[in-house]
Amino acid sequence: MDHIALLTSAGQAGAAGWSSIIMLVLILVFFYFLIIRPQKKQEKKEKEMRDTLEVGDEVVTNGGIVGIVFSIKDDTLVIETGSDRSKIRVMKWAIAKNLTVHESDN
């Protein structure tokens, strides 16, 4: 009788362990599809926007500066701001938005 009770309790402990692992995997999958995947899609979209910048595009930086792209280097660009045509050199990663609408290649 004691052996049967031990086997039953061991089986229940094993089932509880597996259900914990399954719940953990489900939580990780949930976080991946709700948080990680959309964030990576957004980062890819922003990188594509920065890679397709052209001279003459109107852009907004992360700091809120609005200007027109004057020149583009590898990882920096120069934007022209204001009526006095002052120029500011910024990193490409600092560009938040491209306000110029281009025709699609479709």
Tell whether the model's pLDDT for residue 37 goes beyond 60.
yes
What is the mean pLDDT of the segment spanning 69-79?
94
pLDDT tens-digit profile of 5-15? 444 555 566 67
Show the tokens assigned to 61. Answer: 């930086």
Q: For the domain covering 53-98, report its CATH number.
A: 2.30.30
Our CA dihedral for 61, 67, 72, 78, rounded to 10 degrees, sits at: -90
Mean pLDDT of the chain: 86
